């Protein structure tokens, strides 16, 4: 490997952890505060949590803020325009964890994860595939994401030089087959913006994210909501950066803030050479019921 190759493979990864409110302006102020504190880097990927801009309000609040997907007139797409401006201002690849975007169904929006480049351009989008319809013994009890959200229909992998970024959102992390499909396309970083509950987070958050890193020999960048929100919902925090060996490189704990570290994406290639699990996988290619 040449020195130049290693340089291109070096990325700074950052996750911003929020206790988001129902008011977008408050949340964007917190995001801006964190972006201003982050170390500078030529290649810098910053992840925001799920529902970072609008969260914890009355039923229907997300729908009120849904936007047509894609940059356009400010009055039609204020959340996306604000993200584009922040990506430009701070010279980062800003992955807006999720925000509500319009669908063909007027009663349901899509939970879209959107990647903005340092020039403010929208580079990639992903709509959450797996919707959180569960019963829990926490302060919320019943979660019915499908009542207001329309599930996506595609995988999304963004490639830029050495970066091969797989996009997922929260509940998706429980579906290993989805991550393996992204890994088959070459994914070396998995992004998991989340609003993981305190109850499920304490039981499963670290285990699931470390497993996805180990199984797919990739870095995992996970930004979570934290604390109690305006509607009483409780989220777990502990935003994480994990390496392909499953080691936790950074853990944000339970307070709002940020974590950041520099990684070398060739670590994924090295591990795949010494432990070529993708080549050894007989499940898809050889076995039949």
Q: Which of 6-15, 75-84, 119-128 has the highest mean pLDDT?
A: 119-128
Over 90: is that where the pLDDT of 127 sits? yes
pLDDT tens digits along 228-248: 999 999 999 999 999 999 999
Beta bridge partners of 164: 159
- Banded model confidence at residue 73, pLDDT cuts 50, 70, 90: low
Residue 83 is among the residues annotated as catalytic for this protein: no
Catalytic residue among 34, 51, 128, 268: 128
Q: What average pLDDT is seen over the chain?
A: 92
So where are the chain's domains?
A: 3-280
Q: Residues 18-43: what's their mean pLDDT? A: 97
Higher local confidence (pLDDT), 38 or 137? 38
Over 80: is that where the pLDDT of 142 sits? no
Q: Residues 134-142: what's their mean pLDDT? A: 75
Sheet holding 110-116, edge to edge: 122-127, 110-116, 93-101, 44-47, 10-17, 257-264
What is the predicted pLDDT for the residue at 284? 65
What is the predicted pLDDT for the residue at 134? 80
**Distance (Å, whole) CA 220 – CA 233:** 25
Q: Cβ-count burial of 274 within 10 angstroms (0-12 exposed, 13-18 middle, 19+ buried)?
A: exposed
Catalytic residue among 50, 67, 164, 218: 50
Over 50: is that where the pLDDT of 37 sits? yes
Torsion angle of C-alpha atoms 266, 267, 268, 271, degrees rounded to 10: 130
Q: Residues 137-163: what's their mean pLDDT? A: 87
Residue 85 is among the residues annotated as catalytic for this protein: no
What is the predicted pLDDT for the residue at 155? 98
DSSP state of 105: S
Number of H helices and E strands in the chain, helices first, is: 9, 16
What is the predicted pLDDT for the residue at 282? 83
**Distance (Å, whole) CA 170 – CA 190:** 12
Q: Residues 214-231: what's their mean pLDDT? A: 97
Catalytic residue among 51, 83, 170, 268: 170
In sequence order, the 6+-apart residues with CB closer than 8 A to the CB of 15 are: 46, 47, 221, 222, 223, 239, 240, 241, 250, 252, 258, 259, 260
Prediction pTM value: 0.94
Q: Residues 30-49: what's their mean pLDDT? A: 98
- Banded model confidence at residue 281, pLDDT cuts 50, 70, 90: confident
Q: Residues 69-78: what's their mean pLDDT? A: 76
- Banded model confidence at residue 119, pLDDT cuts 50, 70, 90: very high
Higher local confidence (pLDDT), 50 or 143? 50
What is the predicted pLDDT for the residue at 57? 73
pLDDT tens digits along 159-209: 998 999 999 999 999 999 999 999 999 999 999 999 999 999 999 999 999
CB 196 within 8 A of CB 224: yes
What is the predicted pLDDT for the residue at 75? 63
Q: Is the dihedral of CA 59, 226, 81, 72 positive or negative?
A: negative
Give kind and range of the element (H or E) at residue 245.
none
What is the predicted pLDDT for the residue at 200? 95
Instruction: Identify the CA nearest to 263 among candidates 282, 250, 278.
Output: 250
What is the predicted pLDDT for the residue at 3? 42
- Class of domain 3-280 (CATH, top level): alpha beta
Residue 50 is among the residues annotated as catalytic for this protein: yes
- Paired tokens of 175: 């579906």
- Banded model confidence at residue 1, pLDDT cuts 50, 70, 90: very low
Higher local confidence (pLDDT), 88 or 60? 88
**Distance (Å, whole) CA 184 – CA 176:** 12
């Amino acid at each position: 490997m040449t020195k130049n190759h290693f340089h291109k493979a070096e990325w700074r990864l950052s996750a911003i952890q929020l206790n988001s409110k129902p008011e977008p302006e408050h949340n964007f102020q917190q995001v801006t505060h964190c972006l201003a504190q982050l170390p500078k880097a030529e290649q810098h990927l910053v992840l925001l949590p799920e529902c970072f801009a609008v969260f914890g309000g009355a039923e229907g609040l997300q729908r009120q803020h849904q936007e047509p997907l894609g940059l356009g007139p400010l009055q039609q797409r204020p959340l996306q325009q604000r993200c584009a401006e922040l990506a430009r201002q701070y010279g980062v690849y800003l992955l807006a964890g999720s925000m509500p975007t319009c669908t063909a169904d007027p009663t349901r929006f899509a939970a879209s994860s959107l990647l903005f480049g340092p020039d403010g351009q929208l580079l990639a989008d992903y709509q959450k595939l797996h919707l959180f319809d569960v019963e829990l013994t926490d302060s919320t009890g019943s979660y019915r994401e499908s009542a207001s959200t329309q599930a996506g229909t595609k995988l999304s992998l963004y490639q830029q030089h050495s970066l091969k970024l797989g996009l997922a959102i929260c509940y998706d992390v429980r579906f290993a087959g989805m991550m393996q499909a992204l890994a088959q396309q070459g994914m070396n970083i998995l992004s998991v913006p989340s609003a993981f509950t305190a109850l499920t987070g304490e039981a499963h958050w670290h285990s699931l994210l470390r497993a996805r890193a180990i199984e797919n020999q990739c870095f995992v960048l996970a930004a979570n909501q934290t604390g109690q929100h305006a509607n009483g919902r409780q989220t777990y925090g502990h935003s994480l950066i994990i390496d392909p060996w499953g080691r936790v490189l950074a853990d944000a704990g339970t307070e709002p803030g940020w974590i950041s570290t520099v990684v070398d994406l060739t670590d994924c290639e090295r591990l795949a050479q010494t432990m070529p699990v993708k080549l050894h996988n007989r499940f898809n290619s050889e076995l039949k019921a």
